[in-house]
Amino acid sequence: RKEVEQDPGPFNVPEGATVAFNCTYSNSASQSFFWYRQDCRKEPKLLMSVYSSGNEDGRFTAQLNRASQYISLLIRDSKLSDSATYLCVVNAMNRDDKIIFGKGTRLHILP
């Protein structure tokens, strides 16, 4: 099992719809989780951290399920500007305290 796995997509979603995608991780000791957004040929930028209690920022909601070892990102009322690649990032609490990146999920919002 890969350390961090994401469905690469692409997810083609009509504008205004709600879309959700998950990211699974293999290291049960992982403590920190993040969602990054990356636009084409740009550096990834932090979208939001994922807390144990879940968190919401406007149209975006992130949740953590430790029992099943996955995090999720929900986007409501999607906008054309939401089209991007969404990277799941996990801080694997191993010897090196290394950050592990998912490959990303591509999202296309259709007009």
Partner 1 sequence: GAVVSQHPSRVICKSGTSVKIECRSLDFQATTMFWYRQFPKKSLMLMATSNEGSKATYEQGVEKDKFLINHASLTLSTLTVTSAHPEDSSFYICSVAYNEQFFGPGTRLTVL
For the chain, what is the HEC assignment? Answer: CCCEEECCCCEEEECCCCEEEEEEECCCCCCEEEEEEECCCCCCEEEEEECCCCEEECCEEEEEECCCCEEEEEECCCCHHHCEEEEEEEECCCCCCCEEECCCEEEEEEC
Does the footprint of partner 1 cover residue 38 (CB under 8 A)? yes
Per-residue interface string for the shown chain with partner 1, residues 39-58, x marking contact by CB under 8 A: -xxxxxxx--x---------
Does the footprint of partner 1 cover residue 32 (CB under 8 A)? yes
Does the footprint of partner 1 cover residue 91 (CB under 8 A)? yes
Binding site for partner 1 (CB under 8 A): 31-32, 34, 36, 38, 40-46, 49, 85, 87, 89, 91, 96-99, 101, 103-104
